[in-house]
Chains A and B, each alone.
Chain A
Amino acid sequence: MPSLHKLPLPLWLLLLTLPCIGQAAKVDLPASEWGLEQGDNCVSCHQKASNSLHQQWQQSTHAAAGVNCFDCHQADKDDTDAHEHEGEVIATIVSPKDCGRCHTKEAEEAKNSIHSQALALMVERTGATEEALESAGCTSCHGGRVEAAIDGTVSSGNWPNAGIGRINPDGSRGSCSACHGRHLFSKAQARDPAACSSCHSGSESPDSEIYQQSRHGVLLQSQREAMNFGSDSWITGKDYSATATCVTCHMGEAPGLNPTHDVGMRDAWSLNGPVSEKQSLVIFANGSRRDLPLSHPSPRKGEALAMIGGEEATIQAIASPNLRRKAMRKVCLECHSSSFADRFFHQFDQQIEAYNQRFGIPGKAIMDDLYRQNRLTPTPFDEPLEKIWWQIWHDLGVSMRHGAAMSSLSHTFSDGLHAIEKRFYGAFLPEVRAVAGDEGESLIERHLQSGSSPTLPTYGMVPAATSTIDSNNE
């Protein structure tokens, strides 16, 4: 079967929307290729040396199917972390390459997803080195480069690491165990939003908190039993219908929609920069993928474009933001009417636009001007204004926009747009005036459409209001 990325665009689109009959992809590898006899003798020692791991494995679907330690821990003798153990060549780290021997489809999708490229993407966005990111703690979630010593022992400071964009000693990238707890590999565990929360929580990525306060998250608290998390097949509207979890919308299977391990595939907006943009998904001929904001000149199929990491590759297909949204909308339709879904997306878009127009775009333009005028040094975060701006677009702004995406009202409004507004008018603009001196007022006026007196925001919820409020009147 040809791998997904080699399909031409029309076929790819078809696949995206094709009513699908299956559940999780079945393992194509013939049964003679697992349950290898080299793994027969591991248990005898390891039920003494590491009985908890042994017990987890024993309760797993893997054990029931006859998959043993060696099947996953075997290594190529030239892998840098390969070492001899009881006469067999093994590695401690089971990488996506290892999991992909059986779970080909999932590994391939994950490999090309934004998740697996989390480290490279961060290097690209911040311009920081991997070492700097490691010492700042970023690699614990984004994944670090794990290297092995000459004798195959895993030596780098990055280990232990289950960051999702981990670069593994065997050269592969990603970490299945970021979501799938090792040795038990429980379906239920990976489908539970708690699986996402170890990284997607806190000020950097408060999705866990946002989800918990969203309509869907509130439902989950009382309907957990009805979610059928452990079911073999897990199709929205068929195997469960009580609520939606992270997996449901971002990866899950619904009638007419294939499940995917490319977790960002259905994201029509970029919500993590100073200014949000609709984004296309570029699929390269080599299988790699990247998001491309609409402001970028639209490339065509066959042209070369830089992948995440900078290397150029030929474009195989481009999925528009509309197509991406169409995929996610299919999930909604299992519980909501199409007009309900359309209205939700309309509100979501309006709320993002409100953020962009009122804070993101003017704020970024003001900051760009201040850098250009050398009123700010190029060094990031060495001036108070930079920290305030970071709080606005990153801490508050990201939380607000993710809140809008997930319908968490408090994150969108009270702790979102309203909090940003207070920070923007109460701290950011006064600091701009302080930094820019005499030119501060004209700089602000140039970029702020509504001047210093903001229009009451509509956020797409009510007809445009005509009254204005004083910025101090909050």
Chain B
Amino acid sequence: MSSPFNILFITRNVLIALVIGGFGGMGFILFLIEFDHHTSSEEFCTTCHSMELVALPYRQSSHYNPESGVRASCGDCHVSEGVLMATWDHTMGSKDLFKQLFSSVDYDDPVENLLHLPQAAFAAREWFRARQSSTCSRCHTLEAIMGDRPAIAQIHREESGGKSCVDCHINLVHRPVPSRKTFNQERWNRMVEEEFNLATGEAAKRLAP
């Protein structure tokens, strides 16, 4: 007499494969959760020196040192919620790792880093905009924003239609970069040259492909 399992073509081997696959899958999901968690941390991100340069202003910001002690780490803002989206963001973000390792640009060099910062800022703002600043709402709830004047609560309730956080709030954490509309490459280059005592025109030269 054949076992009921046989009717479902579940042989012993299939059963073993299912169990192994099941545990394997669970293990993989758990791995992704742990992986996303670990790779979202400031400690991990700043293993690249280029990211350490970006983290310096962050450590002076209110997102690092709020009165409440609620500290946002890199991934809290820059990695989406949920294992699938988080994994996706990390996968897409790995292009930064490739650039760090294989690009001709030395992002660990403070000058090169600063010269390329605006492009990184613009990309990050686009990323936030595309997600309606969803990572902000991990901590901030629009309806709960009070501010220190009644007008602040009122404006957030009544004037925020069609906008997300990043449409108004930029340059909160990292080194200030103008919006794309008012960005002036010449002026940025001059700032870098002055800051690092470089000859005039050196910044443009370094940026040339």
Are both chains from one complex? yes
Tell me the A residues contacting B by CB distance below 8 Å: 44-45, 48-49, 51, 77-78, 80, 82-84, 86-87, 89, 149-153
In the complex, are the beta carbons of A45 and B181 less than 8 A apart? Answer: no
Q: How far is the CA of A86 from the CA of B188 in the complex (A)?
A: 23
Of B58-66, B172-180, B198-206, which binds chain A? B172-180
Query: Across the two chains, which residue of chain A brings its CB closest to B184?
Result: A78
B56 shortest CB reach to chain A, Å = 16
In the complex, are the beta carbons of B182 and A150 less than 8 A apart? Answer: no
In the complex, are the beta carbons of B176 and A44 less than 8 A apart? Answer: no
In the complex, are the beta carbons of B155 and A151 less than 8 A apart? Answer: no
- Contact flag A45-B182 (CB < 8 Å), given A149-B176, A150-B188, A151-B171: no
Q: How far is the CA of A194 from the CA of B34 in the complex (A)?
A: 70
A-B contact pairs, 6 of them (CB 8 A): A48-B159, A77-B181, A86-B168, A89-B182, A150-B177, A150-B178
- Contact flag A80-B187 (CB < 8 Å), given A45-B159, A89-B181, A152-B182: yes
Contacts of B181 in A (CB 8 A): 77, 84, 89
- Contact flag A77-B182 (CB < 8 Å), given A150-B187, A151-B177: yes
Query: Across the two chains, which residue of chain B brings its CB closest to A151?
Result: B176
Contact residue among A44, A48, A49, A83 (Cβ-Cβ distance under 8 Å from B182): A83
Q: How far is the CA of A82 from the CA of B178 in the complex (A)?
A: 9
Write the B161-195 contact mask toward A (1 if CB under 8 angstroms, else 0).
Answer: 00000011001000011110110100110010000
Q: How far is the CA of A169 from the CA of B129 in the complex (A)?
A: 30
Interface centre among B158, B181, B188 (most CB of A within 10 A): B181
- Kindly state whether residue B151 has any CB partner on chain A within 8 Å: yes
- Contact flag A49-B151 (CB < 8 Å), given A77-B181, A84-B179, A84-B181: yes
Query: Across the two chains, which residue of chain A brings its CB closest to B150?
Result: A48
Contacts of A44 in B (CB 8 A): 159
Contacts of B188 in A (CB 8 A): 150
Contacts of A82 in B (CB 8 A): 182
Contact residue among A45, A87, A153 (Cβ-Cβ distance under 8 Å from B176): A153
A283 shortest CB reach to chain B, Å = 35
Q: How far is the CA of A149 from the CA of B188 in the complex (A)?
A: 11
- Kindly state whether residue B154 has any CB partner on chain A within 8 Å: yes
Tell me the B residues contacting A by CB distance below 8 Å: 151-152, 154-155, 158-159, 167-168, 171, 176-179, 181-182, 184, 187-188, 191
Known: A77-B181, A150-B178, A151-B177. 15 other contacts (CB 8 A): A45-B159, A48-B154, A48-B155, A77-B182, A82-B182, A83-B178, A83-B179, A84-B178, A87-B167, A89-B181, A150-B176, A150-B177, A150-B191, A151-B176, A152-B178
Q: How far is the CA of A118 from the CA of B175 in the complex (A)?
A: 36
Contacts of A80 in B (CB 8 A): 187
Contacts of B179 in A (CB 8 A): 83-84
A185 shortest CB reach to chain B, Å = 24
Contacts of A77 in B (CB 8 A): 181-182, 184
Q: How far is the CA of A44 from the CA of B159 in the complex (A)?
A: 8
A10 shortest CB reach to chain B, Å = 45
Query: Across the two chains, which residue of chain A brings its CB closest to B171?
Result: A151
A165 shortest CB reach to chain B, Å = 25
B153 shortest CB reach to chain A, Å = 10
Contacts of A84 in B (CB 8 A): 178-179, 181-182
Query: Across the two chains, which residue of chain A brings its CB closest to B153?
Result: A48
Query: Across the two chains, which residue of chain A brings its CB closest to B177?
Result: A151
Contacts of A51 in B (CB 8 A): 151
A76 shortest CB reach to chain B, Å = 10
Q: How far is the CA of A133 from the CA of B152 in the complex (A)?
A: 38
Q: How far is the CA of A453 from the CA of B120 in the complex (A)?
A: 80
In the complex, are the beta carbons of B159 and A151 less than 8 A apart? Answer: no
Q: How far is the CA of A49 from the CA of B191 in the complex (A)?
A: 33
A148 shortest CB reach to chain B, Å = 10
Q: How far is the CA of A82 from the CA of B154 in the complex (A)?
A: 27
Contacts of B187 in A (CB 8 A): 80, 150
B128 shortest CB reach to chain A, Å = 15
B14 shortest CB reach to chain A, Å = 60
Query: Across the two chains, which residue of chain B brings its CB closest to A150?
Result: B191
Q: How far is the CA of A111 from the CA of B5 in the complex (A)?
A: 95
In the complex, are the beta carbons of A45 and B155 less than 8 A apart? Answer: yes
Q: How far is the CA of A44 from the CA of B191 in the complex (A)?
A: 37
B27 shortest CB reach to chain A, Å = 47
Interface centre among B168, B176, B178 (most CB of A within 10 A): B178
Q: How far is the CA of A148 from the CA of B43 in the complex (A)?
A: 34
Q: How far is the CA of A48 from the CA of B168 in the complex (A)?
A: 16
Interface centre among A83, A149, A151 (most CB of B within 10 A): A151
Contacts of B178 in A (CB 8 A): 83-84, 150-152
Contacts of B167 in A (CB 8 A): 87
Contacts of A86 in B (CB 8 A): 168
In the A-B complex, the 9 residue pairs with the closest CB atoms: A84-B179, A151-B176, A48-B151, A82-B182, A84-B181, A151-B178, A45-B159, A77-B182, A48-B154
Query: Across the two chains, which residue of chain B brings its CB closest to A83?
Result: B182
Contacts of B151 in A (CB 8 A): 48-49, 51
Query: Across the two chains, which residue of chain A brings its CB closest to B163?
Result: A86
Q: How far is the CA of A162 from the CA of B187 in the complex (A)?
A: 26
Query: Across the two chains, which residue of chain A brings its CB closest to B154?
Result: A48
Contact residue among A49, A89, A149, A150 (Cβ-Cβ distance under 8 Å from B155): A49
Q: How far is the CA of A44 from the CA of B182 in the complex (A)?
A: 24
Q: How far is the CA of A83 from the CA of B184 in the complex (A)?
A: 11
Contacts of A89 in B (CB 8 A): 181-182
B82 shortest CB reach to chain A, Å = 31
A98 shortest CB reach to chain B, Å = 16
Contacts of A150 in B (CB 8 A): 176-178, 187-188, 191
Contacts of A45 in B (CB 8 A): 155, 159
Contacts of A149 in B (CB 8 A): 176
